[in-house]
């Protein structure tokens, strides 16, 4: 297995499996025994043994939901006989920041590598792209609902097994009911996270600083940009119109007619006022079409609200600029995307 800072479906992951290959019997003809647990290199992204696709699609089943794993036609058979433990130092997750960009975070354990529940399979006809002598062996990582501490970042997380649950998960004799009881959110206090560079938004990025912690800076929204452009000495709109039309303070009839006319100089004055986004626009003057035209001319551009999605929650999610910081740790290898 090749150590990587940024792993995505199609790359290899180290995993512990129960090797079902019989060991060679002794000269006396003693019964053959299985060799037990072995460390294997598996391609991330499950390709079932019955798949007829000539070109594997590793992105189709790189995760398996714990809630339906025992009823799925693909995963239920693997749950009984092909369980494994995927070993990783951490994983990345994303949330949108105030500017609408995806901000990546690196999640890990203070206590050491993560031991994730997984299912694997081997295809009898397809060959591994890195070694034509081996059959294609692939793995999917089991996921569950996020823990309370991680819910601000994402609503799902991998099933991280405590060390004392590894034997139970790998034991071929463990009943299904007990197995399903292991597939729950990891809520121990040694789960930590920190923001990392947005260069991680590119799947191809794999430099040594992938998991290095960074300090977040407040991003500026579009509304704050226009507020900064506003001039504090801007004269009210009515004063500009009066000056351009040469109206005296008492010529209210001429002023109303000019403001209500679409061909008057009000349109340019209103445009300048809107681009400056004055924080206290003047009250509209009575006249033909003034109210309607003022509303249309002064509708500022508004930053769109962050929508719900796979990697971010809707308005109930806290801002990525002020998440609960749980600590930081140096980067490790075998991180997963």
Residue 2: predicted pLDDT: 73
| Domain assignment present for 287 | no
Cα 298 → chain centroid: 36
Stronger pLDDT, 18 or 254, i.e. the higher one: 18
Q: Which of 85-94, 123-132, 154-163, 277-286 has the lowest mean pLDDT?
A: 277-286
Residue 288: predicted pLDDT: 40
The answer to whether 161 touches 169, Cβ cutoff 8 Å, is: yes
Q: What percent of the chain has pLDDT over 90?
A: 56
Q: What is the mean pLDDT of residues 70-79?
A: 95
| Domain assignment present for 304 | no
Tell me the pLDDT band of 36, cut-offs 50, 70 and 90. confident
Stronger pLDDT, 52 or 261, i.e. the higher one: 52
The three-state secondary structure class of 80 is helix
Q: What is the mean pLDDT of residues 309-327?
A: 39
- Residues 183-192 pLDDT 10s: 999 999 999 9
The answer to whether 9 touches 45, Cβ cutoff 8 Å, is: yes
Q: Is the pTM of this model over 0.75?
A: no
| Domain assignment present for 53 | yes
Tell me the pLDDT band of 35, cut-offs 50, 70 and 90. low
Q: What is the mean pLDDT of residues 109-135?
A: 95
Tokens found for residue 12: 């290899």
Q: What is the mean pLDDT of residues 46-75?
A: 95
For residue 164, pLDDT over 80 is answered with yes
Exposed/middle/buried for residue 94 (C-beta within 10 Å: 0-12, 13-18, 19+): buried
Q: What is the mean pLDDT of residues 233-257?
A: 44
For residue 106, pLDDT over 90 is answered with yes
In CATH, what number is assigned to the domain containing residue 40?
A: 3.90.1680.10
Nearest CA-CA partner of 241 in 264, 211, 216: 264
Residue 279: predicted pLDDT: 38
Q: With both helix axes pointing from N to C terminus, report the angle between 290-297 and 266-276 in degrees, rounded to the nearest 10.
A: 40
| Domain assignment present for 65 | yes
CA dist list (Å): 120 to 76, 82, 84, 162: 12, 6, 7, 20
| Domain assignment present for 171 | yes
Tokens found for residue 104: 């990546």
| Domain assignment present for 95 | no
Query: Domain range holding 45?
Result: 11-21+35-89+113-185
User: Pairing between strand 90-96 and 102-109?
Assistant: antiparallel
For residue 301, pLDDT over 60 is answered with no
For residue 287, pLDDT over 80 is answered with no
| Domain assignment present for 55 | yes
Q: What is the mean pLDDT of residues 31-46?
A: 81
DSSP-assigned letters across all residues of 150-209: TTTT-SEEE-BPPGGGHHHHH-TT--HHHHHHH-S----TTEEEEE--GGGGSTT---TT
Q: What is the mean pLDDT of residues 184-202?
A: 96
Q: With both helix axes pointing from N to C terminus, report the angle between 237-245 and 252-260 in degrees, rounded to the nearest 10.
A: 100
Residue 229: predicted pLDDT: 53
Residue 9: predicted pLDDT: 96
For residue 62, pLDDT over 70 is answered with yes
Residue 171: predicted pLDDT: 95
> Tokens 């823990």 belong to which residue?
147
Tokens found for residue 237: 């709109």
The answer to whether 87 touches 108, Cβ cutoff 8 Å, is: no
Chain mean pLDDT for the chain? 74
Residue 238: predicted pLDDT: 53
| Domain assignment present for 260 | no
Nearest CA-CA partner of 190 in 327, 333, 335, 331: 327
Stronger pLDDT, 120 or 310, i.e. the higher one: 120
Domain count, the chain: 1
Residue 250: predicted pLDDT: 42
């Amino acid at each position: 297995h090749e150590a990587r800072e940024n792993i995505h479906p199609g790359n290899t992951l180290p995993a512990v499996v129960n090797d079902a290959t019989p060991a060679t019997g002794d000269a006396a003809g003693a019964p053959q025994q299985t060799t037990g647990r072995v460390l294997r290199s598996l391609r991330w992204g499950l390709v079932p043994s019955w798949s007829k696709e000539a070109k594997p699609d590793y992105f189709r089943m790189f995760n398996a939901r714990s809630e339906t794993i025992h009823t799925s036609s693909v995963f239920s058979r693997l749950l009984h006989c092909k369980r494994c433990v995927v070993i990783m130092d951490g994983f990345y997750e994303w949330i949108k920041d105030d500017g609408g960009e995806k901000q990546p975070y690196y999640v890990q354990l203070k206590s050491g590598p993560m031991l994730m529940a997984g299912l694997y399979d081997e295809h009898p006809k397809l060959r591994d792209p890195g070694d034509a002598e081996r059959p294609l062996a692939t793995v999917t990582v089991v996921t569950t609902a996020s823990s309370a501490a991680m819910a601000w970042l994402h609503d799902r997380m991998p099933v991280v097994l405590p060390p004392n649950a590894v034997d139970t998960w790998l034991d071929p004799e463990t009943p299904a009911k007990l197995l399903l009881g292991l597939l729950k959110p990891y809520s121990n206090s040694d789960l930590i996270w920190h923001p990392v560079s947005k260069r991680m938004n590119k799947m191809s990025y794999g430099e040594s600083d992938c998991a290095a912690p960074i300090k977040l800076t407040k991003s500026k929204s579009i509304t704050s940009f226009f507020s900064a452009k506003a001039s504090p000495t801007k004269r009210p709109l009515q004063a500009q119109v009066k000056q351009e039309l040469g109206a005296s303070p008492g010529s209210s009839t001429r002023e109303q007619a000019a403001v209500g006319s679409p061909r008057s100089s009000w349109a340019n004055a209103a445009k300048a006022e809107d681009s400056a986004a004055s924080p206290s626009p003047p009250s509209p003057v009575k006249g033909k079409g003034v109210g309607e035209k003022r509303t249309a001319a002064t509708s500022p551009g508004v930053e769109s609200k962050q929508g719900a999605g796979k990697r971010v929650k809707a308005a109930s999610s806290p801002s990525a600029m002020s998440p609960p910081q749980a600590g930081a740790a140096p980067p490790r290898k075998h991180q997963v995307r």
